Structure 1
Amino acid sequence: MKVLPAAEWRPLADAHATRVDEFVEPHLARRADKVKHPVHDFLFTYYSQRPAQLRRWHPGFGVALEDAADYADLKGYSPDPVAVSSSYLASQRPLITQLHTLLTATAGRAPQFGCFGLHEWAMVHRASQSGSGTRHDWPLRLGQQGTDAVVESHRIACSHFDAFRFFTPSARPLNTLQPGRDDRAELEQPGCLHAGMDLYKHAFRLTPMVPSELVADCFELARDIRVLDMRAAPYDLADLGFEPVTIETAEGKAAYVEAQRGFAERGAPLRARLIAECERLLASA
């Protein structure tokens, strides 16, 4: 086991906290002021990782920390040496195996770029008729009738269950797939924006067994993807400074696909790193 002296690991921990604070601190300020942000709050309200958890640095399994009494009682750690314990790693084997299966299946598929972000539109399809309302308290850029027309005039091809489950009842039958909770490994594909954002979820679910640098890298990817996700959504977010990606037009579709390809390329090495970490942990368990 590698042992890090305090003079070596504390600067790493501080640097990690500083890195994520660029995004965490504005979120905490908004929360204190009870101000909601439909784009930047998502990673803290939809995902279960709290800001304090994101800020805490972990070296990952196989590294012990000297003079780290504040880590000794953390979940997953042993007090002597202060490191992620082998017993905790063994207890997480089912999770690691599940994530490895999902990540390798996703990595093995060709990315698809024909969804044009219509999942967000399907979440508000005929919302005024159903009384379900919209997911965010912002006006629809094309109004309800114009939004419905976009949904009904396009092929909806969402493969991600955690997006599909928020479709309105009227939009569900319009989707070419009917993904279920247990279908992720069979349907997830690397071009999907939500599959890219979920790399952050997979990384923090493996905490503290994986290095926090990997978690932060996945967080930054998810942060950037969320911006595109909402710029292409049906909401009018101009007052927040977000120029819409008008996916109802040919130009908007082309811009969306170009950005989507870029995120798929950024996500591929992160997915590969997560797969490698899963394999390392399974070999050690």
Structure 2
Amino acid sequence: MPVEVLDQREWQARAASHAARVDAFVAPHLARREARVKHPVHDFLFTYYSQRPAQLRRWHPGFGTALRGAAEHAGLKGYAEVNGLVGVTAEHVASQRPLLEATRRLLRATASRPAQLGCFGLHEWAMVYRLDQDETRHADWPLRLGPAGTDAVVESHRISCSHFDAYRFFTGPARPLNTLSPTADDRPDFEQPGCLHAGMDLYKHAFRLTPMISSDLVADCFELAREIRELDMRAAPYDLSDLEVDGRPLEPVRIETAEGKREYAAAQAAFAERGAPLRLRLVRECERLLEEAPAAHQER
């Protein structure tokens, strides 16, 4: 198949630009890690997801683009060098067919549904339901309403979490309160674009497709996930008033109030709108890879 060829100067400039872009987020995380300082907003994307900072910094052109003078890429998984050109191989893409098909199926199903905006971030509250302060996931930060006040919010609301990776962290007493029972195997039946975790997971889907897709798309998904995580924790039950995000105090979204619910739903809708084109780009990349890799493999 025809490929785009980048000379060494061009691809190294792109790689440097990518590293500089993500270093704005990676460098502070590494500094906090060295100092053993926790940040439940900014550290989440590096601790919850399996992509390490060094992996995020490494630039990949994606399948269909070859690089000149890229010996360091030749040794990476999925790459090969032929006649001085280095690129992701069709064999590697073909080996990822199950992942590509599953990702396309999930993202298509998610995109086919209207955004549901009535959950109000209560998944974080259900994760601490009936726990003592020192048992919570972020025990270094107190519960804003205290344990009893937090439990009262959970009990007075309809919990409707559709995302398994949030639901699985519910406490035992909170699980029966959820109107849905998503599992790891039925994600395409439940996930919807208004869900904050579905929006953050666009980053997960993107880096799992590395090195088959461009790192530019991975970085776009990372930046969206970072902003979504901020809302996720602003609406959480913790008192994070001593934290800052990009020099701004982390003001709570008080979802236990009518005003807070309106604020959360509006932000949720905005993120759903911003996530839609990224989801579509990922779907199209899956489709391109599924279509082009077998043909390229046969030609070889």
Q: Same fold (TM over 0.5)?
A: yes
Match of 1:78 in 2: 80
Match of 1:169 in 2: 172
Structure 1 letter corresponding to 2:16: D
Cα shift at 1:36: 1.1
Match of 2:16 in 1: 14
Structure 1 letter corresponding to 2:287: E
> Does 1:222 find its partner at 2:230?
no
Match runs of 1:16-35 below 5 Å:
16-35=18-37
CA-to-partner distance for each residue in 1:163-199, whole Å, 9 max, x for gaps?
A: 0000000000000001111110100000000000000
1:200 is aligned, of 191, 198, 203, to 203
Classify the secondary structure of the residue corresponding to 2:242: helix
Distance 1:65 1:11, change over 3 A: same
User: Normalised by the size of structure 1, how large is the TM-score?
Assistant: 0.98
Match runs of 1:107-118 below 5 Å:
107-118=111-122
Cα shift at 1:132: 8.0
Match of 1:232 in 2: 235
Measure the CA separation in 1 of the matches of 2:94 and 2:46: 28
Match runs of 1:180-191 below 5 Å:
180-191=183-194
Cα shift at 1:34: 1.0
Measure the CA separation in 1 of the matches of 2:4 and 2:125: 50
2:69 is aligned, of 60, 67, 70, to 67
Measure the CA separation in 2 of the matches of 1:28 and 1:37: 11
Match of 1:283 in 2: 291
> Does 1:257 find its partner at 2:276?
no
User: Normalised by the size of structure 2, how large is the TM-score?
Assistant: 0.93
Structure 1 letter corresponding to 2:291: A
Figure out how many residues of one structure are paired with residues of the other and give that number.
283
Measure the CA separation in 2 of the matches of 1:245 and 1:213: 31
Cα shift at 1:8: 0.9
Match of 2:256 in 1: 248
Classify the secondary structure of the residue corresponding to 1:23: helix
Q: What percent of counterpart residues are identical?
A: 71
Structure 1 letter corresponding to 2:191: E
Structure 2 letter corresponding to 1:31: R
Measure the CA separation in 2 of the matches of 1:183 and 1:257: 25
Measure the CA separation in 2 of the matches of 1:132 and 1:173: 23
Measure the CA separation in 2 of the matches of 1:143 and 1:180: 30
Measure the CA separation in 2 of the matches of 1:239 and 1:30: 16
Cα shift at 1:46: 0.1
Measure the CA separation in 2 of the matches of 1:256 and 1:2: 44
Classify the secondary structure of the residue corresponding to 2:135: coil
Match of 1:178 in 2: 181
1:51 is aligned, of 50, 53, 78, to 53
1:97 is aligned, of 77, 98, 101, to 101
Match of 1:268 in 2: 276
Cα shift at 1:79: 1.9
Classify the secondary structure of the residue corresponding to 1:127: coil
Measure the CA separation in 1 of the matches of 2:166 and 2:99: 22
Classify the secondary structure of the residue corresponding to 2:60: coil
CA-to-partner distance for each residue in 1:93-147, whole Å, 9 max, x for gaps?
A: 110000000000000011100000000000000012xx98101121000000000
> Does 1:153 find its partner at 2:163?
no
Structure 2 letter corresponding to 1:220: E
Q: RMSD in angstroms over aligned alpha carbons?
A: 0.9
